[in-house]
Chains A and B, each alone.
Chain A
């Protein structure tokens, strides 16, 4: 059992249901996720795409869906020829109520050895999660540069 490459934690003043909505609603994701639209029916086994301006950046498959507690999907970046050849990695969201706030733990694991996707996502996650917290707590996302790769 290899250890996860990344673990991110953020505490958000919201409810588990609102957080689940924020992670899975097509129009909502676009507002904080560097202009990316996440589209799926969010059922285990279903496909999910992350697209910007109609161009698919990441192809995913839902591995586990337990609203509003746990969501897990595979992650394959297809905007880069080398990344496209790598085996898919895995993202998991754990949503836990903690008093008046919700603890969100995001793990990203199972990257290929020497993965370029790993390099690419490591700078993206903290921005996306800070922006997610901001939009849920203040109604406004963080100002992110949509020109960088998701």
Chain B
């Protein structure tokens, strides 16, 4: 669990996860596209995300594809969030999103 929090405690890595959330199964090159980061930096961040199991990779022909793997985040949720809290938290999340009109 420490690895997951450490991996998430970085804005560049969260951005990479956001990009995979928007479009799953990208190559390193696709992920680098339009980012203000060197390919080496992206590679390093992806390795940390993969070690934390937040990113899963798959060989597809000659390509290595990266997928967002939200399973560890659900395991964290399981530890502190229970069934009846879930709906209320979802409602609060929606309210916050609407009021702020942006995601961080």
Give me the interface of A with B, judged by CB distance under 8 Å: 1, 3-11, 105, 107, 126-127, 129-131, 133-134, 142-145
Q: Verify B60–A9 contact, CB threshold 8 A.
A: no
Q: Report which B residues bind A (CB closer than 8 A).
A: 24-25, 53, 56-58, 60-61, 65, 67, 69-75, 77-78, 82-83, 86-87
Q: Using Cβ atoms and an 8 Å threshold, which residues of chain B touch A107?
A: 58
Beyond A5-B24, A130-B75, 4 extra complex contacts between A and B, CB < 8 Å: A3-B60, A8-B56, A134-B78, A142-B74
Give the distance in Å from the alpha carbon of A61 to the alpha carbon of B74 in the complex: 29
B77 nearest CB neighbor, chain A only? A130
Query: Chain B: which residue is nearest A143 at the CB level?
Result: B83
Q: Which of A8, A11, A144 has the most CB of B within 10 A?
A: A8
> Could you tell me the distance in whole angstroms from the C-beta of B88 to the nearest C-beta in chain A?
13
A-B contacts, 13 listed (Cβ < 8 Å): A1-B61, A3-B25, A4-B65, A4-B67, A10-B53, A10-B72, A107-B58, A127-B74, A129-B71, A130-B71, A134-B78, A143-B83, A145-B86
